[in-house]
Amino acid sequence: MAEQVIWQADAVALADRLGALFASIRSAEAEIGALLVEIEQRGVLELFGYRSVPRLLEHLVDVPKSSAERLVKRARAVNPGVGLDGTPIPAVAAATGVVARSGRLSNPMIDVIVGVLQDVPPEHREGAEQHLLALAEEAGHRQVAALGARILAHLNPDGAEPDDTEIAIPTRELSLRRKRTGMWEISGKLDDETGARASALLDSLAQRRSTDEGPDLRSPQERYGDAFSDAIDLALNTPELPRQAGERAHVMVTVSLEDLKSGVGIALLGDTGTISAAEARLHACDCNIIPAVLGAKSEPLDLGRLRRLVNPGLRHALYLRDRGCAFPGCHRPPRHCQGHHLRHWADGGPTELGNLVLTCAHHHRLLHRSGWEVRMAADGLPEFLPPVFLDKRRKPRRNNLHQPLPVAA
């Protein structure tokens, strides 16, 4: 009997310790979520040079991008935010976020509550959330999910109305429009043959890349979006592209030399769009340049001659030396790459082989936006220095994936 009492006491102590540790973990995860929302609001691109919080977490703390995306999605749902215009964005489950900070809610429980409340009309959310949280104190997430289903059935007993409309399927249809936010929306329908060819093209360009940044954990949608951008670059660079008004298709970017040098300010993209001067600085690494002098009312006073920064001969030399994107671990071939100036030409950097490195579009942007740096080593080959938060020693890295040129005996 005494041994059984001791064993039971030990079991209670172990269970209590486990509960306390999990409460600490869950409380810390809730605090992490609030911190991630704050980073998003302040701008992860401006703070760290990465385009998304999940991508930052992937490299900063070795969290798979899919897990990081779930973490950020959960954090947005239980933490209030602020829009780009300063308008407050209420949390879907603010009370759940408060309880989560105490460590009393598991992630599956939070996801169940948030999932239910997203389908509850806003005027009923507060009451529904209180019922769900009350049951969560004494039951598991499956029981709470069952209560949520009953709440939704009570609020909408007839369910969603069926969609009886027939979908028209034209042979080929494509719509591309620019939104006020500066993002472009694309939608359309393709016949079977065209769709199969498009799928084969995007599949070949959307393969996962594995570099020294870490594994490529982009979602399929992100990989296909990047592949579509690469396909446009390849099409624009083909000599068979039809001409417009006697010229090859192009997009005009207008920016002052001062803004281009500093990377601070706005550049005009086409007729109505805008990009940052930093983005224009990125594209200016490898493009056609027409210098222009404008008057006080922006009227053109003088136009210089078109000149190509990286001419065909220099591009061939880059192809031969780098054999593709030079970023460590990148497998992109030369035809998918751009010439990047180690010292930007707007800052007086020469357009010559010793000041250029071949990079794909993704790693070209990463060099301009993050703490990665590239330099020429003593042997005349490019080497990359990672940011301090990835490697405090900043040990130089090289790409050893591309096959070197055969050397004559």
Q: If pLDDT is split at 50, 70 and 90, which confidence band does 198 have?
A: confident
Q: Are 406 and 389 in contact (CB under 8 A)?
A: no
Q: What is the pLDDT of residue 292?
A: 47
pLDDT tens by residue, 344-400: 766 777 878 888 899 888 888 888 777 789 999 998 899 999 888 777 888 898 887
* Model pTM score: 0.47
Q: What is the pLDDT of residue 291?
A: 47
Domains of the chain, by residue range, sit at 6-155, 253-286, 302-385
pLDDT > 70: what percent of the chain? 71
